[in-house]
């Protein structure tokens, strides 16, 4: 009884400390938001200054307040207006980020130019900063609604067939408040244009509200079930998928046609898949060494791991290829810089190699909370695994840029006819429009 009482007190203290941290987080963000609002308001003449100041301050407090609330909420009810509030508050957070960056630049310019005859006043620089931030966010909002297909070509001596084995790699869909049927429909259309042999999803399929946050479950299930691959669709959990306890999550994945292989091994005629759960804090992550004990190593061994931090362990265990997500490549500047510092250049996004093991880290097919992408794209990675000697070791895979790849702005670039044993399956024969969108390839290809 004594130990139970101590544990109860510790839990209460922990909850109180977490609440205190949330208020500190909100307080800091609110102070920054109010300063941003003040600088915008002072650029207007009176009495417009007061009206603009109040209006922008209210929106600012709503933005930072609601974003703080969404990250720490404990209830499982989601009003239809919740998704709009997530988008609006996320846009403000992005605006505040770029407004501060722009203010820093403009204030430095003012510092050097204010003594120059005819130089504009400081308020004019403040207005310029606000306009610049608005334009950047508008561009990022437009960019977040498009999905790029990124081609990657890998060679592996273990491949037991002469023609390429095509794997479509998806990650971080974050289905929920911000992402629903429309974005997923476009994703599925482009996935099917790739005519994959296999589709894999490396975690964070759902946003942190679980299936409770999915606005129209039946529509989402129907859309995702349209993904076509000869050898099926496989996935693993990410850190957000079970952030909210949800007994319906596996039933949802099953209805979507996704085979979840957390802490499991799946094998087909060509490759062996090893699924690693992304739930790092629950004690449910089985060691990769134990999962690989009885694996057929004569085939390419592909590890699905949400977090790129698992790449080193996969290399030590002799995996041929690791597919990851999680980082979003930072999603928007300046987070892109911090993500590269934390994970390294290839660990944050793109193709990398450690020993004999190749890795491909996705920037995400969806986005999280803030509906803005600057310097990154939502991406579908189309991997062609081909027979060939590896460059890093006897059986290690080797990355090579596909031939005939050309940049395209928003259209789809032709990749040529697919020739394989499944060319008549999964709609390959019916769909003559075999195209891939190529912009962004330089960010991921070695």
Residue in the block written with tokens 């722009």: 102
Are 180 and 41 in a shared domain? no
Look at residue 28 in the predicted model and tell me its pLDDT: 83
Q: φ, ψ for residue 89 (rounded to 5)? A: -70, -35
Rounded distance, CA 133 to CA 130, Å? Answer: 5
| Domains in the chain, number | 2
pLDDT in tens, 195-247: 999 999 999 999 887 888 888 899 999 999 999 999 999 999 998 887 777 78
Looking at residue 13, what DSSP letter applies? H
Look at residue 32 in the predicted model and tell me its pLDDT: 87
Are 402 and 340 in a shared domain? yes
Question: Nearest CA to 288 among 318, 330, 308, 328?
Answer: 318
Alpha helix positions (H), 42-81: 48-72
Are 132 and 185 in a shared domain? no
Are 123 and 42 in a shared domain? yes
pLDDT averaged over the chain?
Answer: 82
- In the chain, what is the greatest distance between 2 CA atoms, to the nearest angstrom? 79
Q: Which of 229-238, 338-347, 383-392 has the weakest average pLDDT?
A: 383-392
Look at residue 244 in the predicted model and tell me its pLDDT: 72
Are 135 and 154 in a shared domain? no
Q: Model-level pTM? A: 0.83
Are 134 and 233 in a shared domain? no
Containing 122, the helix (H) or strand (E) segment is: helix 122-143
Q: Which of 109-123, 165-179, 346-360 has the weakest average pLDDT?
A: 109-123
Partners of 399 in the β-ladder? 154
Domain containing residue 131: 2-143
Are 299 and 424 in a shared domain? yes
In 3-state terms the chain splits into helix, strand, coil percentages (rounded to 5) of 40, 15, 40
Q: How confident is the model at residue 280 (pLDDT cuts 50, 70, 90)?
A: low
Are 192 and 269 in a shared domain? yes
CATH of the domain at 166: 3.60.21.10
Q: Is 240 helix (H, G, I), strand (E, B) or coil?
A: coil
pLDDT in tens, 315-342: 999 999 999 999 999 999 999 999 999 9
Are 256 and 397 in a shared domain? yes
């Amino acid at each position: 009884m004594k130990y139970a009482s101590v544990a109860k007190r510790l839990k209460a203290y922990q909850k109180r400390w977490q609440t205190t941290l949330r208020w500190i987080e909100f307080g800091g963000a609110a102070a920054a938001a109010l300063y941003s609002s003040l600088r915008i308001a002072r650029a207007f003449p009176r009495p417009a200054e007061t009206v603009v100041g109040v209006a922008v301050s209210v929106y600012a407090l709503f933005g930072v307040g609601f974003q703080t609330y969404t990250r720490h909420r404990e209830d499982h009810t989601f009003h239809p207006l919740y998704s709009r509030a997530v988008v609006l508050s996320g846009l403000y957070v992005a605006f505040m980020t770029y407004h501060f960056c722009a203010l820093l630049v403009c204030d430095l310019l003012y510092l050097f130019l204010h003594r120059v005859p005819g130089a504009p006043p400081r308020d004019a620089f403040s207005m310029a900063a606000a306009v610049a931030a608005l334009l950047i966010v508008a561009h990022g909002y437009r960019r977040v609604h498009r999905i790029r297909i990124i081609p990657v070509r890998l060679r592996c001596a273990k491949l037991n067939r002469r023609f390429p084995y095509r794997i479509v790699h998806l990650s971080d869909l974050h289905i929920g408040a911000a992402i629903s049927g429309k974005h997923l429909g476009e994703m599925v259309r482009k996935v099917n244009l790739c005519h994959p042999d296999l589709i894999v999803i490396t975690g964070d399929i759902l946003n942190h509200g679980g299936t409770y946050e999915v606005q129209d479950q039946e529509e989402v299930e129907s859309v995702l079930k349209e993904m076509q691959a000869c050898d099926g669709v496989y996935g693993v959990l990410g850190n957000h998928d079970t952030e909210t306890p949800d007994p319906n999550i596996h039933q949802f994945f099953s209805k979507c046609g996704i085979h979840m292989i957390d802490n499991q091994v799946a094998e087909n005629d060509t490759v062996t898949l090893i699924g690693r759960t992304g739930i790092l804090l629950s004690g449910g992550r089985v060691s990769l060494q134990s999962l690989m004990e009885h694996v057929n190593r004569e085939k390419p061994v592909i590890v699905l791991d949400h977090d790129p931090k698992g790449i080193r362990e996969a290399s030590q265990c002799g995996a041929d290829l690791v597919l990851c997500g999680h980082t979003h490549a930072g999603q928007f500047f300046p987070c892109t810089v911090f993500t590269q510092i934390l994970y390294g250049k290839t660990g944050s996004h793109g193709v990398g190699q450690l020993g004999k093991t190749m890795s491909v880290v996705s920037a995400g097919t969806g986005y999280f909370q803030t509906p803005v992408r600057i310097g990154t794209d939502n991406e579908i990675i189309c991997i062609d695994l081909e027979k060939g000697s590896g460059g890093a070791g006897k059986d290690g895979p080797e990355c090579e840029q596909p031939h005939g790849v050309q940049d395209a702005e928003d259209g789809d670039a032709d990749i040529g006819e697919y020739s394989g044993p499944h060319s008549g399956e999964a709609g390959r024969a019916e769909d003559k429009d075999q195209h891939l969108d190529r912009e962004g390839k330089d960010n991921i290809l070695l």
